[in-house]
Structure formats: structure tokens, C-alpha cells
Amino acid sequence: MAGSVDALRGEDTILIDDVYKDKLGVSQIGETVEIFGRRARIVGFTHGIRSFTTAPYIFTNFKNAQNYMRLAADETVFILVKAAPGADLTAIKQAIARDIPSVDSFTNQEMLDKTRTYWVFGTGAGTTTLMGAVLGLLVGTVIVAQTIYSATIDHIREFGTLKAMGATNATIYRVILIQAMLAAVMGYAIGISIGLLISHGSLDGAVPILLPLPIAAGIFALTVVMCAVASLLSIRKATTIDPAMVFRG
């Protein structure tokens, strides 16, 4: 962070994140900008505090925020209550609801869940992302199914030979599932490598893309399931062939 938080005690002073310098047309501390027709002097830059929307976060003191948002002296939008270590959050929440019934109170986790639910299910951005993910899963399943099915058809006589030699359906299942798992592992390796490169390259941008380990593991599990489901058509084809076809011309 550049500058000082103490400088926010002054009138019309703000902090912005350095990633938005170019977007807001500023380059250094001391420059003056305008917010809703009111002067704002930049006294410092934060680092790594990005907004999910196109509007960046602006930090200032409470009085300045009221002035910029055109709120009366007795008006506000959110108030953050910091509890002492070990405090009963449920009891604090109930006390706030009892003493100030006109406001809604949420714990940090409740606010997090509420915000996540809003962006995922309450906006067009979240719905579009979910639809894209579902569509990608369906298309991926179809492509993998076609690939495995084509490989099965190309080697259908080999499968017939195995059955003629006494191979059980379980053996056929195992062969095709191994093919599907190989496709899953190789496809995942390529995909996750590209994803990690994109994630790393976005860290300095306005909207960083994060790929934590639990998400990466979940994607791998989903890839395995997708390939296993995609192999069902091939399994049915290979297990219903007539072994006698091997001896026909």
C-alpha cells in the first residue's frame, strides 16, 4: 500500500486500488478527481482489492462517504461490527435485532453466502456462467462419447476376439473404462494447464481468476465422471456383439 490511512481523516480524501489507475486516469498521490460532482483528493493506493463489478472500490472516512453518496448525517447503508475474540456472534446478532429492529444483521458467513447467492442466481452474469458450464459439460460428454465410440467401432473385431476367447463382459467393461480414464487424465492435464496459465496471467488484472486446489480437484472428479458416463454407449456396443463375427469374412 502507498500513502497513509491516517490521511483519510482529511476532507475529501480517498484511497483507490493501484490496478484501477489507468481506468480512472490517475497516476500518483495528490491528484484530484471528481465523484458525483464533488472533489476527491487521492492520498494513497491499496493493492489487490478488486471489485467483481466494473466499479472499483473507493475508501474514505465515514463523513466523506456520506457526502459523496449524498446521504444525510444520520443515514448510512452498512455498518461493520467487529466482535471481540471468542464472542457469541449469534447472541450479538440477536441483541442488534432486538435493540435496532429496523435493520438487518448478518454474520460474516451469512453475508458471504447472501452475496454469493445474489451474484450466482440473482444476476444475468451468474446465470450465464452456470448455463455455459452446463453446456460445456454436455458438449464435452458428447465429444468424449463420440471419441470412445469411434475407437470401439475401429476395434470391434478385437472385442469380438476377446469374447470368442471367453472374455467376460466385466473384462470388456474394464478395457473401455481404462480408455475413458486415460482420456480423462490426458484431457484434464491439458485443460488444467491452460487454466493455470490463464489464472496466473489474470492476477494483475481488474478481475483475477482464481483456481484453488479444491476446485481443481472437483473439476478432475467431474471429468472422470463425465468420461465414465460417455463410455456407456461403447460398453453396450462392445458387450452385445456376436463373437462369431470374427470368423466371418
pLDDT tens figures, 17-57: 877 777 777 878 878 888 888 888 888 888 777 777 777 88
Amino acid at 31: E
Q: Are residues 118 and 128 in the same domain?
A: no
Neighbouring CB atoms inside 10 A of 130's CB total 12
Percent share of the chain, pLDDT over 90: 0
Q: Are residues 93 and 183 in the same domain?
A: no
Could you tell me if 12 and 42 are in contact, meaning their C-beta atoms sit under 8 angstroms apart? no
Q: What is the pLDDT of residue 200?
A: 83
Q: What is this structure's pTM?
A: 0.62
CA dihedral 31, 33, 38, 43 (to 10 degrees): -40
Flag whether pLDDT at 249 surpasses 60. no
Could you tell me if 105 and 97 are in contact, meaning their C-beta atoms sit under 8 angstroms apart? yes
Q: What is the mean pLDDT of residues 109-118?
A: 85
Last residue of one domain, picked from the residues 77, 112, 143: 77
Q: What is the mean pLDDT of residues 105-119?
A: 85
How many Å apart are CA 41 and CA 13, to the nearest integer?
A: 5
Residue 225 in domain = yes
pLDDT greater at residue 113 or residue 22: 113
Q: Are residues 235 and 149 in the same domain?
A: yes
Q: What is the pLDDT of residue 16?
A: 84
Q: Are residues 156 and 196 in the same domain?
A: yes
Q: Which is it for the CA torsion 50, 125, 138, 222, positive or negative?
A: positive
Range of the domain at 162: 124-247
Flag whether pLDDT at 205 surpasses 70. no
Flag whether pLDDT at 203 surpasses 80. no
Q: Exposure pattern of 196-234 as b/e (b: 16+ CB <10 Å)? A: eeebeeeeeebeeeeeeeeeeeeebeebbebbbebbeeb
Confidence of residue 248 (pLDDT cuts 50, 70, 90): low
How many Å apart are CA 185 and CA 190, to the nearest integer?
A: 9
Q: Are residues 144 and 228 in the same domain?
A: yes
Q: Are residues 111 and 128 in the same domain?
A: no
pLDDT tens figures, 139-188: 888 888 888 888 777 777 777 777 777 777 788 888 888 888 888 888 88
Residue 82 in domain = no
Q: Are residues 93 and 196 in the same domain?
A: no
Q: 5-9, 71-75, 143-147: which range is least confident on average?
A: 5-9
Quote the DSSP letter at residue 84: P
Could you tell me if 16 and 58 are in contact, meaning their C-beta atoms sit under 8 angstroms apart? yes
